[in-house]
Amino acid sequence: MKKFILIPLCLLAFVLSITLVNVFRAKSFQTHYDPVLTKTIPIKDAIRRLSAAIRYKTVSSLENPNANSDQFQALNEHIRKSYPMINSKLKKTNVSNASFFYEWKGRNQNSKPILLCVHSDVVDVDPSTISLWTHSPFGGEVSDGFIWGRGSWDNKSSLFAILESVEILLKQGYLPERSIFIAIGQDEETIYGKLGAKAITEVFQKRNIRFEYILDEGQVIAEGLIPGIEKPIALVGIAGKGYISLGLETDLKEGGHSSMPPLETAVGILSSGLSRLEKNQFPLSLGEVPRTTFEWLAPEMNFSSRWIMSNLWLFGPILKSKLSEKNSTRAQLHTTTAITKIFGGFKDNVLPATAQATVNFRIIQGDTHQDVLNWTRRILEDERIRLISPDTIFEPSSISSTSSKGFETIRRSIQETIPNAIVAPAMVSAYTDSAHYGLVSENVYRFFPVRVGPDDINRFHGIDERISITNFEEMIRFYLRLIVNSSD
């Protein structure tokens, strides 16, 4: 009898000791760089320039590429007038009606250049929510220590912080070692970036320009978002998910009177197909990128969290189920399925012959768009629902290295600006322009230093988008360090 108790107890002690060894063996990935404070930030003028930029309603549109062109022109004119040194010293190349890039020629033409990319367009404001905004969404108001309005985060804060930092360095007579390109696209928010990122990338390809590294928007500085870590966490995106929107259509070729309906209608067939897709999501797994994130975060956590994170071989399933509770973390674990559009019918007493829907998938590394098509066909298993593939598909990106010169430069610039920040590589679930720019470099990073707390997540593309003045100043300091550090 004793033996039956003793064996499991010994096993338990053995497993426990292995987990404890792993906790203490987990070495920190963090490096230490001393903070560097640049004295001369003209923050009042910088705020005025960002706040003016928010007042231009640069909303892009997929259907009408010329939408708000007067606003885009006015914003570009605002940039031209605000940064005289940039406009006299850097070479500007116009690519589309409102997209362009600057080239700041470096001393050493044998060193590969770097590319900083931003977008000047913003998403529109849902008219039904305007009254819920504390300050007018396109007012650029400065109040309570914040600059308010659409674009104050995404992505005019980056755009203006980069321009501010370059202008400061030019005034100091600084000349970078390697050339620095700044690409400003006009249509990131319409997803396909045809006039912006895609067109600019084609110019780079024609000129055979390859970049040492690329820094695009994407991940942020997370504050209080990851349990077990109180310090700010600068998550540097090393991979982006793929993107495909599939059309689904049911065409029964006959409608009819709603007083004598068949047992199944076009809308009913399509709806039950959509419901099956929603119920049968792609399986969850802790892939390479989320695993890397946790490897980097584990040594920085309190003991109980570190115990779990350092022993994913044992606790992986528990962690997976914990992460699957929140939409934002579940998205890191699989290819997501989201029904985004549905149409069918035009009159209450007429049976529609056709019904259509759109399902948007964000594809994780390891899956391809072909896997999405196969999966969808298998789940639908109904030949009355036709699948329509879009012209533009983005496969998931490759995973950029955490030991490249680019990653180290970004990490160093973060720590010199925000000394208590922890740096960790991460995944970006949303589409960004780097889906195009990724063609001209192996090292693509997706990060901009906006601080995001639990209360802030819904401000992205949502109500009361704003940036604190201290954070905006920090962003300028970050890009200053990044440009200087890129010379090393």
Residues carrying an active site annotation = 121, 188
Return the half-sphere exposure (C-beta side, CA atoms, 13 A cut-off) of residue 207: 10
Cβ closest to Zn ion, residue 212 vs residue 464: 464
Cβ closest to Zn ion, residue 157 vs residue 365: 157
Contact 155, 448 (CB under 8 A): yes
The helix (H) or strand (E) run that includes residue 1 is: none
Residue range at the interface with Zn ion (CB under 5 A); choices 152-160, 200-208, 274-282, 360-368: 152-160
**Total residues in contact with Zn ion, by rule CB under 5 A:** 3
**How many Å separate Cα 279 from the centre of its chain?**
26
Cβ closest to Zn ion, residue 22 vs residue 155: 155
What does each C-alpha distance from 431 to 142, 213, 393 come to in angstroms? 30, 19, 11
Quick one: DSSP state of residue 39?
S
Residue range at the interface with Zn ion (CB under 5 A); choices 61-69, 154-162, 280-288, 289-297: 154-162
Site map (CB under 5 A) of Zn ion, residues 169-208, x = contact:
----------------------------------------
In the complex, least distance from residue 448 CB atom to Zn ion, rounded to whole angstroms: 9
In the complex, least distance from residue 248 CB atom to Zn ion, rounded to whole angstroms: 28
In the complex, least distance from residue 402 CB atom to Zn ion, rounded to whole angstroms: 23
Whether the bond between 76 and the residue before it is cis, its omega within 30 degrees of 0, is: no
Question: Tokens in use for 118?
Answer: 């931003």
Looking at the chain, how many residues does it have? 488
Burial class for 157, CB neighbours closer than 10 Å (0-12, 13-18, 19+):
buried
Residue range at the interface with Zn ion (CB under 5 A); choices 105-113, 147-155, 245-253, 305-313: 147-155
DSSP lists the bridge partners of residue 236 as 425
Cβ closest to Zn ion, residue 216 vs residue 223: 216
Return the half-sphere exposure (C-beta side, CA atoms, 13 A cut-off) of residue 480: 24
Per CB under 5 A, the list member of 60, 82, 116, 154 interacting with Zn ion is 154
Residue range at the interface with Zn ion (CB under 5 A); choices 215-223, 228-236, 370-378, 400-408: 215-223
Task: Determine how many CB atoms are found less than 10 A away from the CB of residue 324.
Answer: 16
**How many Å separate Cα 179 from the centre of its chain?**
25
In the complex, least distance from residue 122 CB atom to Zn ion, rounded to whole angstroms: 8
Task: Determine how many CB atoms are found less than 10 A away from the CB of residue 168.
Answer: 21
Cβ closest to Zn ion, residue 86 vs residue 117: 117
Cβ closest to Zn ion, residue 159 vs residue 418: 159
Question: Tokens in use for 103?
Answer: 């080239």
Q: Which residues contact 108 (CB under 8 A, 6 or more apart)?
A: 177, 178
In the complex, least distance from residue 154 CB atom to Zn ion, rounded to whole angstroms: 4
Residue range at the interface with Zn ion (CB under 5 A); choices 77-85, 146-154, 302-310, 410-418: 146-154
Cβ closest to Zn ion, residue 106 vs residue 196: 196
DSSP lists the bridge partners of residue 195 as none
Does residue 155 bind Zn ion (CB under 5 A)?
Answer: yes
Q: Which residues contact 74 (CB under 8 A, 6 or more apart)?
A: 56
Task: Determine how many CB atoms are found less than 10 A away from the CB of residue 340.
Answer: 9
Does residue 356 bind Zn ion (CB under 5 A)?
Answer: no
- Using CA atoms of 319, 322, 328, 332 in order, give the dihedral in degrees to the nearest 10: 30
In the complex, least distance from residue 65 CB atom to Zn ion, rounded to whole angstroms: 18
In the complex, least distance from residue 184 CB atom to Zn ion, rounded to whole angstroms: 12
Cβ closest to Zn ion, residue 147 vs residue 267: 147
Residue range at the interface with Zn ion (CB under 5 A); choices 45-53, 65-73, 212-220, 474-482: 212-220
Question: Tokens in use for 78?
Answer: 């605002």
The footprint of Zn ion on residues 217-236 (CB under 5 A) is 217
In the complex, least distance from residue 389 CB atom to Zn ion, rounded to whole angstroms: 26
In the complex, least distance from residue 377 CB atom to Zn ion, rounded to whole angstroms: 33
In 3D, which of 202, 199, 175 has the Cα closest to residue 185?
A: 199
Residue range at the interface with Zn ion (CB under 5 A); choices 18-26, 209-217, 250-258, 468-476: 209-217
The footprint of Zn ion on residues 313-352 (CB under 5 A) is none
In whole angstroms, what is the distance from residue 310 CA to residue 315 CA?
Answer: 9
**How many Å separate Cα 139 from the centre of its chain?**
25
Residue type, 255: G
Q: Which SS3 state, helix, strand or coil, does residue 252 take? A: coil
Cβ closest to Zn ion, residue 154 vs residue 416: 154
Q: Which SS3 state, helix, strand or coil, does residue 420 take? A: coil
Q: Which residues sit at the interface with Zn ion, rule CB under 5 A?
A: 154-155, 217
